[in-house]
A and B are shown apart, each in its own frame.
Chain A
Amino acid sequence: AQKVTQAQTEISVVEKEDVTLDCVYETRDTTYYLFWYKQPPSGELVFLIRRNSFDEQNEISGRYSWNFQKSTSSFNFTITASQVVDSAVYFCALSEIDSYFVANNLFFGTGTRLTVIP
């Protein structure tokens, strides 16, 4: 069965500090997708990144970067030089791929609430 663990329930940082949000997953499948979503105080879910299990390359997008390590089943998210607008709940999620190479349902972690203090 699949499982996504976000052990950090809440994190507070001062503006301009770097912060890493941890995500550890469990799956019996060798092919799967991993995701990060942001939920700002307004409540909507904002897609940040998708990664498939074949691609372990790290990714950088502006101040955001993601470190995918299959050896430790982790998909960590780092925000560099944090800003107040980064304050949100962040969810990591996993989707397994079936034998027909179709992505199945999304399983979410419990989320990490990030507060950036000005």
Chain B
Amino acid sequence: EAQVTQNPRYLITVTGKKLTVTCSQNMNHEYMSWYRQDPGLGLRQIYYSMNVEVTDKGDVPEGYKVSRKEKRNFPLILESPSPNQTSLYFCASRGLGLAGRYNEQFFGPGTRLTVL
């Protein structure tokens, strides 16, 4: 089954304790991205990656890191989490495919993070 998986689904942590949220896709997609969802703000992009070893900042990258060492994985790293990073996080992937054709974007199930 084609899917994007995220782990963990729920996480409660404390300020300053480094954490990683994993994201994996089994569709051989080139493009992967991370979003955070906050009430009244919708989904905002944190980072995205067009392929292995190619990453770029989205709209709200401060306080986050990513890496893309393998095509299937795109972990989100919070080196020193703070309470304002409490949010619902979504990973997404899609193939870049042929010019002129939009390839569907698949979203993971979400990770609800609480930073105390």
A contact residues around B48 at 8 Å (CB): 105
In the bound complex, do residue A105 and residue B58 qualify as a contact, i.e. CB atoms below 8 Å apart?
A: yes
Classify the secondary structure of A's interface with B.
Answer: strand
A108 at interface by CB-CB < 8 Å:
yes
In the bound complex, do residue B99 and residue A108 qualify as a contact, i.e. CB atoms below 8 Å apart?
A: no
In the bound complex, do residue A44 and residue B102 qualify as a contact, i.e. CB atoms below 8 Å apart?
A: no
A contact residues vs B (CB 8 Å cutoff):
4, 6, 9, 33, 43-45, 47, 50, 52, 91, 93, 95, 100-103, 105-111
Going nearest first, the 10 A-B pairs with the smallest beta carbon separation are A101-B99, A101-B100, A110-B42, A108-B43, A108-B42, A45-B107, A103-B102, A43-B110, A111-B42, A44-B109
B contact residues vs A (CB 8 Å cutoff):
33, 35, 40-45, 48, 58, 88, 90, 92, 96, 99-100, 102-105, 107, 109-110, 112
Given contact pairs A43-B112, A100-B99, enumerate 10 new A-B contacts (beta carbons under 8 Å): A6-B42, A43-B88, A43-B109, A44-B107, A44-B109, A91-B43, A93-B43, A103-B103, A105-B45, A106-B105
